[in-house]
Amino acid sequence: MQRTLFAVPLTLALLPGLAPRIVAGPPDGASGNMVLDEVADGLRKYRKEKDPEKRAAWLERLAPSKDPRVALALGEAREESDRTVARAASIALFELYCPPGELETITLASLWVRTGDWWKANEADLRRRAKELPH
């Protein structure tokens, strides 16, 4: 075995014009693959829906995600003029964010007050957190 065989590539690499160049560039771009955001998609469908029963069903379907965008939609929906949507939103808010086990003993009027208090205390934080997520 000759040791010069190993020395030649190392010597060539040290010559200025023959050394491999390492060039830093921008990071790779987005892959182009679609990412499904089920919450954003569900909220779009909820907002487009005209039927109050179907709107309420969308809220009930999205609520368990505990996503700030959904909590924001629930808080806003609780103030809607349609009772079906407002009731579904209030119940979902209470079930998800208020103390567990109290829903059976609470009246609709006290449910409205309790979720209203929760909404006032958390609306600003929810809006801030929702802004950070895709719409």
Percent of the chain scored above 90 by pLDDT?
47
Is there a domain that residue 11 lies in? no
Q: How many structural domains does the chain have? A: 1
pTM of the model: 0.69
pLDDT tens digits for range 4-49:
555 555 555 555 555 555 555 555 554 555 556 899 999 999 999 9
Is there a domain that residue 23 lies in? no
Can you tell me the distance from the alpha carbon of 17 to that of 68, in angstroms, rounded to the nearest whole number? Answer: 57
Can you tell me the distance from the alpha carbon of 122 to that of 82, in angstroms, rounded to the nearest whole number? Answer: 23
Q: What is the CA radius of gyration of the chain?
A: 28
Can you tell me the distance from the alpha carbon of 3 to that of 67, in angstroms, rounded to the nearest whole number? Answer: 65
Is there a domain that residue 32 lies in? no
Is there a domain that residue 6 lies in? no
Longest dimension (CA), the chain: 93
CA distances, 47 to each of 17, 28, 31, 50, 59 (Å):
63, 35, 30, 8, 10
- Specify whether the CB–CB gap between 78 and 93 falls below 8 A: yes
- Specify whether the CB–CB gap between 18 and 12 falls below 8 A: yes
pLDDT band, very low/low/confident/very high, at 124 (cuts 50, 70, 90):
very high
Is there a domain that residue 104 lies in? yes
> Range of 118's domain?
38-131
